[in-house]
């Protein structure tokens, strides 16, 4: 291009325009950079706060796990105090716990740097619930702050006692006016810039509130678990006591049962007594009467445990006493025992009892029944019930008892039994029942003793895992065929 | 016997417990019961006298040097909570230590340098390796004078490298920082320890700042005070880079002083960095001037600069390579890291910071005992020039 003044002027003008454009762009870029730098300042400050919050919440999560893993109150409070010191950065932490025994608050835990003499003083602090220094804290459900410049005398006095120039106190527990404790985080007067200053809008308040909630829950949970453990211990203690009572009851019961079976020529007598785990009131007895006769008794006192054992033992004694006093008929015996028992037996208790008198020579078997399950007699291929009416013993005085008599011939068998046999259940909940028993008595073949046969049948019915619910007593009387 | 060194840390808030814990851990790691020499870097939250006394008791009264710190470094661990202490115990037949402390840094730093030089003269020899220095971090304005006073009075032709960092107090410009020497704990001074013997020192330095915006010219200044930049009051120029209402009061500046600094063209001997960083520790709203950590003459070019994570990472990578190169295959027996407080929690997230420290340590030697602290001003030589650095990391490996 050739030089000309016009062309030169034009190039100069274009150059100035480009320069102006570049300068404008430079200014804009410069402003943008400054804006970015300004934003960066804020970002760094925000990031530091955020990082701090994340750190606190991460540790709160860890604290939660630690609190749930211990039932030791000292350890629990120490975990809380360590969090206050090492994560929230306070100089000191004191946890006051309520002692209902003295209606006061004592220092449950404290941590932080104290000189030794001061530490001992803080450890021994105890505040009555009425102590004015606690008035504001106990009146507030959320938190109380004693910051720099606080003019509340009670708060200042508490701070002085705890050696804190500024502090924040959180009642532990949700019950207004009745906190289970108070967690106090604070700093001494010399703490300077190395600990967070106490202000209501401080970042740490939320973290601290969260901690307090976790600690209160952990303490309450611990108390609940301890109460449960206490209850379980009491229950175990009670069970032990009951076990001992049962042992006594068993001894009473066994002492009342005959030690030997009477030997009667031409007769076989088989008793079988299977007590349940829990002592019942079954009994049987053989009473040697005049003229070589034999009294047979089977009975069941209502209830279980020591009361049933005592009633059963008393009844046995009365039966022996009455039969030995005179030659009373079975009905008369039951009547007399009922009279005596009615005045001594506790209300709502009674005794069912079958009493029969056997004359071994003639085979005569006279009997009366005070509400007991009816015995069966098998003769030939038939089974019949030994029916006789009468109210259970001890229910009310003035009762009369029907008397019956049967002659037991050669080969005849009588079965006396308690309700533990007929009321046994199989796993399906079906009851052994009278019809089954009667049928079994009927089908029983000669040879195996009837008692063993019935017990085998019972176990087949109930199954192996059967837990015996009640005493089972069986007595068979068999006139041997000649 | 070879050199045995161990580093122990404690975060316990009670100085009597923390000092003992850290010292016992250091002794255990070193495998010695009584060390020859002890370094202590303790956070400012502690009662400093109690802390030093406890460490002295736990280390059998061994000679001790150290200072208060903005935060501490122990290998991959770093703590800027205000409550941590790092103790280094050293036992060696190959190394000799001479420690001391000098006061009055603020009054006459050059005289203090001279005094330290005179104290050290009897112990200087051909075996002298270098000098650890821990000055009051709030008086780094005069540290160049200290270097001058020291070097003028050392009657040795041999260059004496200085390593260390400024003692901190969590950026509390009013409160004191502390320097330790044996049982003494002072403020406004400088603690030091001369290292002699058979050991090789390998070190590297880098800063993490990048210039922002274009070149600016100092148009009015005197000493270390800049009155005008580009013919505008220096404070007004500074405000261009700050959020609105950032400088309502002079003391507000400290919040920003950790992230905004000045870069000057680096001297020719500084090969690794294009710029040298100088902080602005204070400003004066009344006359619109700013105070800089070096003397600045009118006509000097400067760039405003900001911290940059990438620059920091590449700088650490370079440092690791340089140290490895200097070690020449030797394993370091002890490593010191003097890290500017601006490279800690004020810039990086906690995990990010720890990962960065770990990455660097892995690159140098993951097994070497490693002690350090967060400083206000870092000290380390570049090409036989002892300099005060800012926004930097100074790492020294002894092998």
- Domain identity same for B126 and B77: yes
Q: DSSP string spanning A192-212?
A: GGGS----TT-THHHHHHHHH
Q: What is the C-alpha to C-alpha distance for residues A478 and A135, in angstroms, rounded to an integer?
A: 88
Residue B79 tokens read as 């703590």
Q: What is the C-alpha to C-alpha distance for residues B69 and A133, in angstroms, rounded to an integer?
A: 39
pLDDT grade, residue A192 (50/70/90)? Answer: low
Domain boundary among B249, B272, B306: B306
- Quick one: what percent of chain B has pLDDT higher than 70? 99
Q: Nearest chain A residue to B213 by CA: give it.
A: A30
- Domain identity same for B221 and B328: no
Q: Nearest chain A residue to B212 by CA: give it.
A: A33
Mean pLDDT of B249-254: 80
- Domain identity same for B155 and B78: yes
pLDDT tens per residue, range B125-172: 999 999 999 999 988 777 889 999 999 998 666 899 999 999 998 777
Taking CB atoms and an 8 Å limit, are A113 and B14 in contact across chains? yes
Yes or no: say if A342 and A396 are a contact pair by the CB < 8 Å rule: yes
Q: What is the C-alpha to C-alpha distance for residues A63 and A55, in angstroms, rounded to an integer?
A: 12
pLDDT at B364 over 60: yes
B127 reaches A (C-beta below 8 A): no
Taking CB atoms and an 8 Å limit, are B213 and A89 in contact across chains? no
Residue B131 half-sphere exposure toward CB, CA atoms < 13 A = 28
Range in A172-181, A258-267, A376-385, B295-304 the model is least confident about: A172-181
Residues of B in contact with A193 (CB under 8 A): 169-170, 172, 175
pLDDT tens per residue, range A271-317: 998 888 667 789 999 999 988 999 999 999 988 777 888 898 899 99
Work out the minimum CA distance from A110 to partner chain B, whole angstroms: 13
Taking CB atoms and an 8 Å limit, are B82 and A26 in contact across chains? no
- Domain identity same for B176 and B246: no
Q: Nearest chain B residue to A46 by CA: give it.
A: B346
Residues near B229 by Cβ (< 8 Å), separated by ≥ 6? B216, B217, B218, B219, B237, B302
pTM: 0.71
- CA separation (Å) from A144 to A182, A213, A389? 10, 15, 82
Taking CB atoms and an 8 Å limit, are B172 and A37 in contact across chains? no
Work out the minimum CA distance from B294 to partner chain A, whole angstroms: 24
- Domain identity same for B202 and B218: no
Range in A188-197, A423-432, B300-309 the model is least confident about: A188-197
Residue A435 tokens read as 């019809």
CA A195 to chain centre: 47
Q: What is the pLDDT of residue B156?
A: 67
Residue B15 belongs to what domain range? 4-206+311-398
3-state SS track over A436-462: HHHHHHHHCCCCCCHHHHHHHHHHHHH
Q: Nearest chain A residue to B238 by CA: give it.
A: A34
Burial (Cβ within 10 Å: 0-12, 13-18, ≥19) of residue A455:
middle
Identify the residue among A38, A50, A92 best suited for mutation to test binding to B, counting B beta carbons within 10 A and taking the highest.
Answer: A38
Which residue has better confidence, B225 or A47? B225
The sign one gets for the Cα dihedral B132, B137, B141, B142 is negative
- Domain identity same for B131 and B259: no
Q: What is the C-alpha to C-alpha distance for residues B309 and B145, in angstroms, rounded to an integer?
A: 32
pLDDT grade, residue A177 (50/70/90)? Answer: low
Residues of A in contact with B172 (CB under 8 A): 192-193
Q: What is the pLDDT of residue A30?
A: 79
Residues of B in contact with A37 (CB under 8 A): 212, 241, 260, 304, 306
Taking CB atoms and an 8 Å limit, are A113 and B47 in contact across chains? yes
pLDDT at A190 over 70: no
Yes or no: say if A188 and A119 are a contact pair by the CB < 8 Å rule: no
Taking CB atoms and an 8 Å limit, are B349 and A47 in contact across chains? yes
Helices A204-256 and A5-68: angle between axes, nearest 10 degrees: 20
- Domain identity same for B299 and B389: no
Residues of A in contact with B11 (CB under 8 A): 86
Burial (Cβ within 10 Å: 0-12, 13-18, ≥19) of residue A86:
middle
Burial (Cβ within 10 Å: 0-12, 13-18, ≥19) of residue B32:
buried
Phi, psi at B246, each rounded to 5°: -70, -35
Q: Where do we find the tokens 């506790």? A: A346
Taking CB atoms and an 8 Å limit, are A44 and B259 in contact across chains? yes
Interface of B with A in 241-270 (CB under 8 A): 241-243, 246, 255-256, 259-260
- Domain identity same for B220 and B189: no
Taking CB atoms and an 8 Å limit, are B212 and A37 in contact across chains? yes
The CATH number that applies at residue B235 is 2.60.40
Distance in angstroms between the alpha carbons of the first and the last residue of chain A:
160
The sign one gets for the Cα dihedral B122, B128, B132, B133 is positive
Residues of A in contact with B47 (CB under 8 A): 113
Which residue has better confidence, B139 or B315? B315
Q: What is the C-alpha to C-alpha distance for residues B351 and B342, in angstroms, rounded to an integer?
A: 16
Residues of A in contact with B15 (CB under 8 A): 113
B238 reaches A (C-beta below 8 A): no
- Domain identity same for B223 and B136: no
pLDDT at A447 over 80: no
B239 reaches A (C-beta below 8 A): no
pLDDT tens per residue, range B202-221: 999 999 999 988 899 999 99
Q: DSSP string spanning B202-261?
A: EEEEEE-EEE-SS-EEEEEEETTEEEEETTEEHHHHHHTTS-TTTTSSGGGHHHHHTTEE
Yes or no: say if B9 and B84 are a contact pair by the CB < 8 Å rule: yes
Question: Residues in chain A whose beta carbon is closer than 8 A to a beta carbon of chain B?
Answer: 26, 30, 33-34, 37-38, 40-42, 44-45, 47-48, 51, 55, 85-86, 89, 91, 112-113, 192-195
B306 reaches A (C-beta below 8 A): yes
Q: What ipTM, to 2 d.p.? A: 0.76
pLDDT grade, residue A482 (50/70/90)? Answer: low
pLDDT at A203 over 80: no
pLDDT grade, residue A6 (50/70/90)? Answer: confident
Taking CB atoms and an 8 Å limit, are A34 and B82 in contact across chains? no
What is the CB neighbour count within 10 angstroms for residue A95?
Answer: 28
pLDDT tens per residue, range A245-254: 878 877 877 7
Q: What is the pLDDT of residue A26?
A: 83
- Domain identity same for B50 and B99: yes
- Domain identity same for B137 and B21: yes
Taking CB atoms and an 8 Å limit, are B175 and A45 in contact across chains? no
Identify the residue among A25, A35, A44 best suited for mutation to test binding to B, counting B beta carbons within 10 A and taking the highest.
Answer: A44
Cα radius of gyration rounded to whole Å, chain A:
46
pLDDT grade, residue A414 (50/70/90)? Answer: very high
Of B104, B124, B125, B122, nearest to B113 by C-alpha is B104
Residues of B in contact with A40 (CB under 8 A): 259, 306
Residues of B in contact with A34 (CB under 8 A): 212-213, 240-241
Taking CB atoms and an 8 Å limit, are A194 and B83 in contact across chains? yes
Yes or no: say if A271 and A475 are a contact pair by the CB < 8 Å rule: yes
pLDDT tens per residue, range B35-62: 999 999 999 989 999 999 999 999 999 9
Taking CB atoms and an 8 Å limit, are A44 and B83 in contact across chains? no
Run of H or E including B30? helix B15-30
Phi, psi at B335, each rounded to 5°: -125, 135
pLDDT grade, residue A176 (50/70/90)? Answer: low
Number of compact structural domains in chain B = 2
pLDDT at B386 over 90: yes
Domain boundary among B282, B306, B330: B306
Buried b (16+ CB within 10 A) or exposed e, B292-320: bbbebeeebebbbbbbbeebbeebbeebb
CA B272 to chain centre: 19
Domain boundary among B306, B327, B360: B306
Q: What is the C-alpha to C-alpha distance for residues A59 and A365, in angstroms, rounded to an integer?
A: 88
Q: Can you tell me whether residue A255 is helix, strand or coil? A: helix
Of B353, B323, B352, B322, nearest to B335 by C-alpha is B323
Mean pLDDT of A421-445: 90
Q: What is the pLDDT of residue A193?
A: 67
CA A85 to chain centre: 39
Taking CB atoms and an 8 Å limit, are A55 and B350 in contact across chains? yes
- Domain identity same for B57 and B168: yes
Mean pLDDT of A170-194: 80
pLDDT at A200 over 80: no
Taking CB atoms and an 8 Å limit, are B255 and A194 in contact across chains? no
pLDDT grade, residue A448 (50/70/90)? Answer: confident
Identify the residue among B12, B170, B213 best suited for mutation to test binding to A, counting A beta carbons within 10 A and taking the highest.
Answer: B213
The residue count of chain A comes to: 482
């Amino acid at each position: 291009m050739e030089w000309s003044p016009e062309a030169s002027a034009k190039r100069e003008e274009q150059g100035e325009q480009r320069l102006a454009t570049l300068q404008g762009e430079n200014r804009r870029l410069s402003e943008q950079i400054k804006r970015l730098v300004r934003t960066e300042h804020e970002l760094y400050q925000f990031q530091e706060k955020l990082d701090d919050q994340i750190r606190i919440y991460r540790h709160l999560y860890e604290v939660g796990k630690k609190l749930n893993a211990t039932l030791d109150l000292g350890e629990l409070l120490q975990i809380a105090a360590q969090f206050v010191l090492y994560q929230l950065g306070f100089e000191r932490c004191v946890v006051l716990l309520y002692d209902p025994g003295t209606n006061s608050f004592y220092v449950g835990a404290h941590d932080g740097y104290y000189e030794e003499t001061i530490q001992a003083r803080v450890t021994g602090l105890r505040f009555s619930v009425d102590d004015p220094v606690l008035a504001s804290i106990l009146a507030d459900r959320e938190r109380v702050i004693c910051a720099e410049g606080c003019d509340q005398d009670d708060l200042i006095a508490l701070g002085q006692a705890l050696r804190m120039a500024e502090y924040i106190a959180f009642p532990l527990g949700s019950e207004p006016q009745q906190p289970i404790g108070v967690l106090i985080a604070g700093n001494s007067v010399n703490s300077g810039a190395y600990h967070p200053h106490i202000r209501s809008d401080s970042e740490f308040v939320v973290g601290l509130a969260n901690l307090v909630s976790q600690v209160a829950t952990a303490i309450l949970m611990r108390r609940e678990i301890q109460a449960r453990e206490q209850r379980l211990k009491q229950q175990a203690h009670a069970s032990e006591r009951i076990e001992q009572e049962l042992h006594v009851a068993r001894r009473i019961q066994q002492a009342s049962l005959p030690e030997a079976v009477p030997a009667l020529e031409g007769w076989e007598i088989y008793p079988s007594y299977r007590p349940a785990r829990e002592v019942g009131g079954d009994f049987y007895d053989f009473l040697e009467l005049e003229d070589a006769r034999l009294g047979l008794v089977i009975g069941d006192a209502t209830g279980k445990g020591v009361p049933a054992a005592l009633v059963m033992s008393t009844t046995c004694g009365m039966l022996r006493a009455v039969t030995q006093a005179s030659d009373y008929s079975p009905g008369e015996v039951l009547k007399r025992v009922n009279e005596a028992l009615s005045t001594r037996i506790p209300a709502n208790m009674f005794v069912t009892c079958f009493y029969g008198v056997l004359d071994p020579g003639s085979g005569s078997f006279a009997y009366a029944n005070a509400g007991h399950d009816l015995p069966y007699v098998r003769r030939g291929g038939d089974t019949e019930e030994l029916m006789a009416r009468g109210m259970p013993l001890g229910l009310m005085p003035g009762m009369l008892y029907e008397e019956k008599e049967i002659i037991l011939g050669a080969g005849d068998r009588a079965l006396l039994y308690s309700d533990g046999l007929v009321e046994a259940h199989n796993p399906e909940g079906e009851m052994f029942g009278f019809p089954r028993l009667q049928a079994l008595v009927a089908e029983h073949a000669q040879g195996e003793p009837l008692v063993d046969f019935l017990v085998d049948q019972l176990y087949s019915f109930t199954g192996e895992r059967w837990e015996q619910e009640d005493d089972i007593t069986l007595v068979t009387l068999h006139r041997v065929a000649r | 016997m070879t050199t045995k060194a161990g580093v122990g840390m404690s975060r316990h808030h009670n100085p009597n417990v923390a000092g003992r814990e850290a010292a016992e851990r250091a002794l255990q790691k070193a495998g010695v019961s009584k060390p020859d020499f002890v370094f202590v870097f303790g956070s400012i939250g502690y009662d400093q006298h109690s802390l030093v006394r406890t460490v002295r008791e736990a280390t059998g009264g061994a000679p001790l040097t150290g200072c208060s710190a903005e935060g501490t470094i122990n290998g991959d661990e770093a703590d800027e909570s205000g409550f941590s202490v790092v103790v280094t115990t050293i036992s060696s037949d190959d190394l000799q230590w001479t420690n001391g402390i000098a006061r009055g840094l603020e009054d006459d730093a050059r005289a203090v340098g001279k005094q330290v030089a005179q104290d050290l003269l009897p112990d200087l020899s051909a075996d002298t390796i270098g000098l650890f220095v821990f000055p009051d971090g709030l008086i780094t304005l005069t540290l160049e004078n200290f270097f001058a006073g020291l070097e003028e009075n050392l009657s040795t032709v041999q260059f004496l490298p200085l390593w260390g960092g400024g003692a901190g107090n969590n950026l509390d410009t009013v409160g004191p920082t502390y320097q330790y020497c044996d049982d003494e704990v002072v403020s406004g001074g400088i603690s030091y320890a001369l290292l002699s013997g058979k050991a090789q020192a390998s070190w590297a330095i880098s800063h993490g700042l990048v210039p922002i915006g274009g070149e600016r010219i100092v148009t009015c200044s005197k000493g270390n005070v800049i009155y005008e930049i580009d013919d505008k009051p220096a404070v007004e120029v500074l405000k261009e880079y700050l959020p609105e209402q950032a400088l309502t009061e002079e003391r507000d500046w400290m919040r920003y002083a950790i992230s905004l600094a000045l870069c000057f063209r680096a001297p020719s001997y500084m090969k690794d960095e294009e710029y040298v960083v100088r902080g602005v520790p204070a400003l004066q709203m009344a006359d619109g001037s700013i105070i800089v950590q070096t003397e600045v003459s009118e006509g000097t070019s400067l760039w405003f600069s900001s911290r940059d994570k990438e620059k920091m990472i590449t700088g650490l990578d370079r440092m690791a390579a340089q140290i490895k190169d200097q070690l020449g295959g030797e394993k370091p027996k002890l490593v010191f890291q003097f890290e500017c407080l601006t490279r800690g929690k004020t810039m990086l997230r906690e995990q990010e910071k720890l990962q960065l420290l770990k990455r660097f340590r892995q690159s140098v030697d993951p097994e070497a005992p490693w002690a350090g602290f967060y400083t206000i001003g870092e000290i380390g030589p570049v090409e036989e020039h002892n300099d005060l650095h800012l926004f930097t990391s100074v790492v020294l490996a002894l092998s």
